Structure 1
Amino acid sequence: MDYALLISRLGNQIREARIRRGLTQAHLGELAGLTRQKVIAVEKGTQSVAMSAYARVLSALDSELVVVPATMPTLEELGDLFE
């Protein structure tokens, strides 16, 4: 499994959790002690974002990372990798 796909999935899950909680990127950034730009990078799955930023965002969302076996990528996910 390509690591870029895994980072992208994590970013998408974080974005969905933020939206479910009714938070803007700026408000989540405040809660996590990060800039809005860093939250955007986390949600995009930018590869240069440190794991500590992901941990801060997850903590601000009262969430945690759970390791599960990877599933095959969807056609949409594969297409996103080539953009």
Structure 2
Amino acid sequence: MRSLAVQQLPPDLEEALVKVGADIRRARIRRGITQEDLAKRAMVNRKTIIQMEKGSPEVGMGILLRTLNVLGIDERFKDLASPELDKVGQALEARKLPNRASKPKRLADMLKKGRK
């Protein structure tokens, strides 16, 4: 049974998964690798590769990453949610930063006690 989160995937994310699946298929074919061979190398069954290439949201991230690694196209995965590339997160964080730096209370208290 499909989880509620998978059932309610927004259309733009469904399209993105279909594109990722098609890209994986193209990478596999370019390398002359069969679905069966890719499945063996990624330690899954052929059905999982077929689901992945169709853009199924039910394929796990670990399996996806292992498949990308087998194909040699996993280098960007580690930066997928990188804080350095998160413009919205950076803007929100910048709004919350204090105008000046101050010592944490505990450290300040410890320093005061040390001076006595």
TM-score, with structure 2 as normaliser: 0.54
Higher relative contact order (CA 8 A, sep 6+): 1
Q: Which residue of 1 aligns with 2:95?
A: none
Going from structure 1 to structure 2, the CA distance change for 1:11 and 1:65 (only over 3 Å counts) comes to: farther
- The one of 35, 47, 50 equivalent to 2:45 is 35
Give the drift of 1:53. Answer: 1.3
Task: Report the Cα offset of residue 15 of structure 1.
Answer: 0.1
Q: SS of the residue aligned with 1:13?
A: helix
1:60 and 2:109 equivalent?
no
Instruction: Give the RMSD, CA atoms, in angstroms.
Output: 1.5
Listed as ranges, the gaps of 5+ residues in structure 1 are 68-83
User: Sequence identity, in percent?
Assistant: 36
Segments of 5+ residues of structure 2 without an aligned counterpart are 1-10, 81-116
Structure with greater Cα Rg: 2
Contact 1:14 1:43 in 2 (8 A): yes
How far is the alpha carbon of 1:8 from its aligned partner? 0.5
Divergent runs of 4+, >2 A: none
Shift in Å, 1:45:
0.5
Which of 57-66 and 40-49 deviates more? 57-66
Moved more, 1-10 or 24-33: 1-10
How big is the shift at 1:43? 0.4
Task: Report the TM-score, using the length of structure 1 for normalisation.
Answer: 0.74
| Greater share of helix | 2
